Every structure is written in C-alpha cells, then in structure tokens.
Amino acid sequence: MAEKVILLDLFASMFGMRARVALAAKGVQYEYREEDLRNKSQLLLQSNPVHKKIPVLIHNDKPVCESLVIVEYIDEVWNQKYPLLPSHPYQRAQARFWADYIDKKLYAVGRMVWTKSGEELEAAKKEFVEILKQLESELGDKAFFGGESFGFLDVALVTYSTWFHTYETCGGLSIGEHCPKLSEWVKRCLEIDFVSESLPDPAKIYDFALMLRKVFGIDAS
Ligand SMILES: N[C@@H](CCC(=O)N[C@@H](CS)C(=O)NCC(=O)O)C(=O)O
Ligand SMILES: *[C@@H]1O[C@H](CO)[C@@H](O)[C@H](O)[C@H]1NC(C)=O
C-alpha cells in the first residue's frame, strides 16, 4: 500500500522540526502543510482536538500528536532505516528522561529569554544557561547524546539550535561561551545532511521572533 504521510507544522516550531528531522532520517516522503496558528485548519482541529497544536503527523489518515510521540512512532514504523531510539531499554529510558527534561524546562525558559527584560530576563538567562549546562554534562565527551551516532535525544534537542541566535541576540548572551561542548555538538549535528536540510535558517527564526515581539507589544512598531 502506498504510504500517505502528511505533517501539519509551523516552520519555526522546534517541536515540528523534530518530526521533520526524524522523517528525513528515515527518508520518508511526506506532504508538509504549514499551519497559521491564528487561523487553524479544520484538519488540525480534527486531528488534534485535545491540544489543537502542531505538529501532527497524519499517517494513512491516522493522526499522531505530540512531537516526541511522533518521533517514537516514526522510529517504530520505519524501523529498517536509521534507528533513533537506543536498542537497550535502560538507554531508551535515559533518552526519554532527558527529552522530557527538555520539554519541561527549555521551551518555557527559552521563551522568556527572547520576550522578557530587566530582572525577569536576568533570572531567565541564568536558568537557561543552567539547563543547557545540565544537558551539556549529560552529553559529556560523547559525539552525540546517542553515543557514536545521532539519535532520539539529539533529535529532541538539535531543533532548539535554530533558536540559539534569537536567544543570544534578544537575551544578550553567548551560548558558546557558557557551553562550548554543546556548541561543538550542534556543529557536528549540522554536518549530517538530513539534519541540516530539515532545519530552517536561524536568521528566519530571528525575523519570526521579532515579528512576534511586535505582535506581543514588546517592541514598538
Ligand atoms: N508538547 C507539544 C508542544 C507543541 C506546541 O507547543 N506547539 C505550538 C507551536 S510551537 C502550537 O501549536 N501552538 C498553538 C496553540 O497553542 O494554539 C509537542 O511536543 O508537540
Ligand atoms: C483562514 O483560513 C482559511 C483557509 O484555511 C482561509 O480561507 C481564510 O481566508 C483564513 N482567514 C484569515 C482571517 O486569514
């Protein structure tokens, strides 16, 4: 049976990018559909009635929601090529633990770094760097979070690197200065074709963030 794969997404979403990277790792052909989150499509509302968020992967008319669930689903369905989850249950549990840590911590604090100012910004920057350092220590001296090869946790985190320029510019910080090993890891990830080809240009993310700052009334227009 011909596979029908649709991804409901938004170009700047680090969650959506996870699905794009995983699909690219597996060489899956799919139809990309950009959503306008202020005017969501019927298909999005029907496919993710609980959260009404992107990304949603629709595989042969069956929707799968939540980016990490989607990445695991992709890994299980297209299991012949480029395994993403570690094969050992303990390593798998560890990868899921850290992916969950990223979701619980990094998004919200990162958002504060590019939207807040004054004391709130200073507190957010401090916490942001602590989170990245925690992740950097989990990386240790390994080439990738998955060890020798790029895997599940690498997928979960590398999409944030497209926002690093925005965090640095809006927040006034240098991630490379605080986390040199993590910065080297980003470069290693981007040397993999299916990774770099799936991620948007950080300059476009920055433009998008500046547009949102205006919408939020942070910068006078
Ligand atoms: N935990 C979700 C987060 C997804 C998410 O936050 N998506 C945002 C865009 S980055 C969204 O669709 N927001 C629309 C809304 O909240 O109305 C995941 O991992 O997929
Ligand atoms: C909302 O999206 C629909 C198509 O999905 C389009 O026809 C309509 O013009 C859009 N409305 C606004 C206000 O952008």
Domain coordinates in residue numbering, the chain: 5-77, 89-216
Report, as an integer, the average pLDDT of 44-64.
98
**With respect to CATH, is domain 89-216 assigned 3.40.50.300?**
no
Ligand 1 pocket member 99 (CB < 6 A): no
Residue 2: which pLDDT band, with cuts at 50, 70 and 90?
confident
- Among 54, 26, 27, smallest CA distance to 40 is for 54
> Ligand 1 mean position to 54 CA, how many Å?
5
- Whole-model pTM? 0.97
At residue 34, what are phi and psi to the nearest 5 degrees?
-75, 130
How far apart CA 202 and CA 194 sit, in angstroms, is 17
> Topology of 5-77 in CATH?
Glutaredoxin (3.40.30)
Ligand 1 pocket member 40 (CB < 6 A): no
If DSSP codes are grouped into helix, strand and coil, which group holds residue 69?
Answer: helix
Most distant CA atoms of the chain, gap in Å: 57
Ligand 1 pocket member 161 (CB < 6 A): no
* pLDDT surpasses 70 at 152: yes
Q: Which helix (H) or strand (E) holds 23?
A: helix 14-26
Ligand 1 pocket member 212 (CB < 6 A): no
Position in ligand 1 atom list of the atom nearest CA 10: 9
- Among 30, 27, 79, smallest CA distance to 59 is for 30
